[in-house]
Chain A
Amino acid sequence: MSERLTAAVRRVFGGGDGLQGLMIQVAAILIAFIVGAAVLAVTGYSPVDAYVSMASGAFGSSYGVGQTLTQATPIVFTSIAFLIGLKAGLFNIGIEGQFLMGAMGATLAGVYLDGLPWVIHVPLTILVGMIAGALWSLIPAVLKSRFDAHEVITTMMLSYVATHFTSYLVNYPFKAPGWVAQSLKISGSAELPRILPPTQLSAAIFVAVIVTVASTYFLQKTIMGYELRATGLNPSAAENAGISIDRNILVSMALSGAVAGLGGACEVMGIHRRFIQGFSPGYGWDGLAVALVGGLNPVGSFFASVLFGALRSGGMIMTRATGVPLDIVKILQALVIMFVAAPKLIRALLRRER
């Protein structure tokens, strides 16, 4: 088992690090944009116009910046959630499910724990969201440490269980009146305030910044973070140094789920103010990709999230201005992911160009 963990980490790191690693990330992004330009050109659009309007849409105005950050916020959480798992050598691809469970937990706390002052209600709602996410991720963690059940499959499957389960909840027991499958609105005391109207940007962005800083500190400075990284990078040596591998599987998965749940909670508390069926367009999967693009560290993930957020918000402006289908954004994201997945491929491409 332990060998598999190392292999997983090594595959993702690709043996590169530091500056060389960063170069690979940047090259992957550039190559993705070049291929994307080819797709645009072949289908009769001007890549230059598209990219320019995308960039100006994402960063050219305070409205654009606000929307970019709004789109980036949930991905900051999901990408950091993913990388915390991966640091311990675990491929938690069920972030989406933990995100939804967190959102649902926060919704229920926000709706039904009524009558509290916001100083209590906001943190409480956040906490319930985190716990819900953590509990959901602990299932695969226990299955792995107990039965050696492959976490890629179990987290993925449980993610779909969460999708259907939360959908059931807002269709039946917690359904708000009306034909839309959604919960009641959370009470005002559990809302995160909007900070840049008319954009949807909420105080959740501050929580995202805090999580970025806190998870950096956790991974780099604390004993637990240190042991977690040692477990991921070389489980045999970690074991030799008296570190329990099973314990670290549980810790990292619980933390991973808690951060994902926090993301779900913030999305509900800051943007939708209720749980709407299908509100997540796949933030969990984006998290996986963004964490890799961000070089598997929280700060890198933050900036990669902003890049992905910019693609989304700038993409909408681009579609309006140039008529290019919005889905080019997804194509770009996918290309970035695939090139980041195979650092060896990027190296081979770079070598050929020289």
Chain B
Amino acid sequence: MTSAIQMVDITKTFPGVTANDNIDFSVDKAEIHGLLGENGAGKSVLMSILYGLYKPDSGDILVDGEKVDISGPSDAMRLGIGMVHQHFMLVPSLTVVENVILGREPTVNGVTLDMERMLRDVAESCKRYKLDVDIEAPVYQLPVGVQQRVEILKALYRGADVLILDEPTSVLTPGETEELFNAVRELKADGKTVIFISHKLREVLAICDRITVLKRGKVVGTVLAAETGEGQLAEMMVGRKIVYEFTKEAECGLEPVLRLEGLECLSDRGIPALRGLDLDLCGSEILGVAGVEGNGQTELVEAVMGLRELTGGSVKLDGQDITDTQPKTRIQMGVSHIPEDRHKRAIVPDFSVLENLVLGSQRDRFTRNGVSIDFAEAKRFSTDMINDYQIATPGPETLIRYLSGGNQQRVVVAREFSRDPPVVIAAQPTRGLDVGATEYVRRKLVEMRDHGAGVLLISADLDEIWALSDRVAVIYEGSIVAVKAVDETDVQEIGLLMAGGGNE
């Protein structure tokens, strides 16, 4: 029997990184094949190559045993390969049917849409694959789980025999996940092949026939789901044997500086993002929040800063309830914030270095009369900061967008830390920075801790959390599933918790 898809000896490098290193990957016909790995293991790159979004440096792709050249998504579609991305590509006000047929519209006479045929065809595929969708409803009225089914319908309508699902459960509720799994099983029963990308152990075990594990761009191995378990998979993912030992949770010795109780809020898409999150941050500590991205980290930060409306829970600073205060008040009370998206949240690119350093303190530190900004003071301050934080800039008046990412981040760090805050929220503080700047920012975080501040470090980089934190909290699906002192745990245990394993 020939494989549906065979990828032979695929290598893909990006500047500085080998994303895929001689990967051999094959998927049988009518198989549900899991592709498992941590963030950055190379799963998405491999599938992007299969879908024609990237060109591999070397290696071959065989579809049904024949060597093919896939140079774009249209080639992939022609070969019967469809992909459902994490971010849906649907037009909200169009109906399900219209979205499905868009770009491949059937017509009666070459001009008029063949409504009947559209409805019939789409209703038929719904029935065939047991995808329960109201096909005449506009897409915006549908819940996320149903929208995902529309994406699957779209791929099937375009003749997909092989369906790539990219982290399909990351946007779904548990109930919707179950429905998705049923649909995927129907697809298999009908002879379709499904590649299921995930980092969640349980899910791949529940749905897949075989699982291929990637780690740092290489295939660790392919195993039969029926013959493996969470322990073995986790070990393959992180590379060492996992020792299950759940010690007592570490706690603050004293009254915490920041106490989060039962935080609940919705994501931008309107689904619950934080689901009763509890967390205490003590003074003089770095508390790392580890987790796979999209488990509520962004919303956690916004909730603490007052930038996102809470549907439940409270935020206390030094014992004082600040749940209902404005962001401005929180900043003045000493909550500093290094945002995860520097260009979106942290800096105004068309402002000068000086103006960016003033941002947030324009109404207190940098005014004497409450009306105008004390630019003399701001200039003095900027010059100091440029020296103290070694910001490489022609001068304080230079627009910040002409600075390198590392220097922009130094400006942000200088601004936030100069307020001498009791609480620092650092979200992905070294993302996109070079080695020198990374080292610098990390040293500053430690310095802040040594000065008595409580530092909440949210990072997708487990090494970073490991290197800096006194305690580690693991966030999973909107709540904290464990808090450990670093010396009482190890990377493997945290990795397992991040993947949703072990929290019985």
Contacts and interface: CB of A to CB of B under 8 A. Distances in A.
Contact of A222 (B332, B339, B347, B373): B373
Contact of A236 (B345, B355, B359): B345
Contacts of B350: 13, 17, 233-234
A242 B370 contact: no
A226 interface: yes
Interface string A136-154: 0000000000000000000
Contacts of B375: 221
A61 interface: no
B144 interface: no
A86 B345 CA distance: 21
A223 B349 contact: no
A240 B345 contact: yes
A223 B371 contact: yes
B242 interface: no
Given A17-B399, A240-B337, A242-B327, A222 B372 contact: yes
B326 A230 contact: no
A327 interface: no
A226 B360 CA distance: 11
Interface string B311-333: 00000000000000011111110
A238 interface: yes
Contacts, number: 70
A244 B306 CA distance: 12
A227 interface: yes
A238 B348 contact: yes
Contact of A240 (B346, B355, B363): B346
Interface string A248-265: 000000000000000000
Nearest to B371: A222
Nearest to A218: B372
Contacts of A224: 371
A223 B363 CA distance: 7
A226 B344 contact: no
Interface string A3-40: 00000000001000100000000000000000000000
B362 A234 contact: no
B339 A242 contact: no
Nearest to B327: A242
Contacts of B347: 234, 237
A241 B331 contact: yes
Nearest to B306: A242
B204 interface: no
Contacts of A221: 372-373, 375
B400 to A, nearest CB: 11
Contact of B373 (A226, A241, A243): A226
Contact of B370 (A223, A230, A234, A243): A223
Contacts of B22: none
A49 interface: no
A239 B372 contact: no
Contacts of A243: 328
Interface in B336-364: 337, 339, 344-351, 355, 358-360, 362-363
A306 to B, nearest CB: 27
Given A240-B307, A242-B326, A226 B348 contact: no
B21 to A, nearest CB: 38
B426 interface: no
Contacts of B358: 226
Most buried by B among A13, A217, A233: A233
A217 B375 CA distance: 12
A242 B307 CA distance: 9
A229 B339 CA distance: 20
B305 interface: yes
Contacts of B348: 230, 233-234, 237-238
B373 A242 contact: no
Given A226-B355, A240-B305, A233 B327 contact: no
B170 interface: no
Contact of A241 (B329, B360, B367): B360
Nearest to B302: A240
Contacts of A229: 351
Nearest to B367: A223
Interface in B389-408: 399
A226 B345 CA distance: 17
A81 B78 CA distance: 56
A221 B378 CA distance: 11
B326 A237 contact: no
A229 B350 CA distance: 10
Given A223-B370, A227-B362, A242 B331 contact: yes
A222 B375 CA distance: 10
Interface in B473-488: none
A237 B359 contact: yes
B344 A237 contact: yes
Interface string B246-278: 000000000000000000000000000000000
A47 B373 CA distance: 50
Nearest to B399: A17
Given A13-B350, A17-B399, A222-B372, A239 B327 contact: yes
Interface in B376-420: 399
Interface in B481-499: none
Contact of A223 (B328, B346, B372): B372
Nearest to A217: B372
A146 to B, nearest CB: 17
Chain B CB within 10 A, most for which of A222, A226, A236, A240: A240
B309 to A, nearest CB: 13
Interface of B: 305, 307, 326-332, 337, 339, 344-351, 355, 358-360, 362-363, 367, 370-373, 375, 399
27 contacts: A222-B373, A223-B363, A226-B355, A226-B358, A226-B362, A226-B373, A227-B362, A229-B351, A234-B347, A234-B348, A234-B350, A236-B345, A237-B344, A237-B345, A237-B348, A237-B359, A238-B348, A239-B307, A240-B305, A240-B339, A240-B346, A241-B331, A241-B359, A242-B327, A242-B328, A244-B326, A244-B328
Given A230-B351, A240-B339, 6 more contacts: A13-B350, A17-B399, A223-B371, A233-B351, A236-B344, A239-B327
Closest 4 CB pairs of A and B: A242-B328, A241-B360, A234-B348, A242-B327
